[in-house]
Amino acid sequence: MASTDGRHRAAVLGSPVAHSLSPVLHRAAYAELGLGDWSYDRFEIDEQTLPGFVQGLDGTWAGLSLTMPLKRAVIPLLDGISETASSVEAVNTVVFTEDGRRVGDNTDIPGMIAALRERGVEKAESAAVLGAGATASSALAALSEICTGTVTAYVRSRERGDEMRGWGERLGVDVRIADWAEAEQALRAPLVIATTPAGATDALTGSVPEAPGTLFDVLYEPWPTGLAASWAAHGGPVIGGLDLLVHQAVLQVEQMTGRAPAPLAAMRQAGEQALAAR
């Protein structure tokens, strides 16, 4: 089935962006959906070049995926953003409507919830978040939907702690701040979400408890992380960054193409194959 309104181009923007799996996932979806005239590319774009790039797009464009450092920089360039994106002041999806409007959304948050629910995590009595960056604020937004108790955030600085406490107040989440030096205690929570860069949790691999809860480690390369491998060895359920990436991409494909449901299984298989090839 071809595009009927002339909009059939999409891409991921960011810096660095060469490592992005988004083209693999979206192209797999187009192939499965029979969208033969659709294309999905990647462009190395930073905050300085973003405005000119967006202004130069013509009517063949259906949407954009945004990675760091553009998730906040894009907001002033849009005609509106969803409540979900507004809740964390971060946009990872832009859809161009038929009447030419640019509308921003955040599919990381519902993607995170969907990845958890796929593994049977509907509710958590409490949770721990490792890290305090942009992904950590999305994690708090997701936890506002499923966590009924306190979320403890383990951070490296007072400034980061203040930021996480502020996000908690904004999102209606009871956030307690703990120093990163106490991060071993995080592993005892029924749900642990690790939002830190590669290597940051390696020192915790020997501290995984017997019969651990659920670990959601948002990294997908390298995979498994040391923490994820140790967690699985102790029999704990592990959700990885590819799960998050696929679920948020499913929502992007549906919004940009207007076709639902997007082919989750085909997209995940394409992502797994691409990672294995690396």
The pLDDT value recorded for residue 4 is 56
The pLDDT value recorded for residue 226 is 97
Which residues, 6+ apart, have CB-to-CB distance to 105 below 8 Å?
81, 82, 84, 85, 91, 92, 93, 94, 95, 255
pTM here? 0.94
The pLDDT value recorded for residue 1 is 45
The pLDDT value recorded for residue 3 is 57
3-state secondary structure of 141: helix
The pLDDT value recorded for residue 5 is 77
**Cβ(13)–Cβ(50) below 8 Å:** yes
3-state secondary structure of 109: helix
Residue 38, CA distances (Å) to 13, 33, 41, 62 in order: 17, 10, 10, 9
pLDDT digits (tens, 9 = 90+) for 107-155: 999 999 999 999 999 999 999 999 998 899 999 999 999 999 999 999 9
Would you call 123 a catalytic residue per the annotation? no
- Distance CA(180)–CA(8), nearest Å, equals 46
* H-only helix segments in the chain: 22-33, 50-55, 83-88, 108-118, 134-146, 158-171, 226-233, 241-257, 264-277
∠ CA 132-219-200 to the nearest 5 degrees? 55
Choosing from 8, 26, 71, 247, which is the catalytic residue?
A: 71
Q: Which of 151, 109, 60 is nearest to 247 (CA)?
A: 109
∠ CA 257-258-263 to the nearest 5 degrees? 70
Question: Residues in the chain with pLDDT < 50?
Answer: 1-2
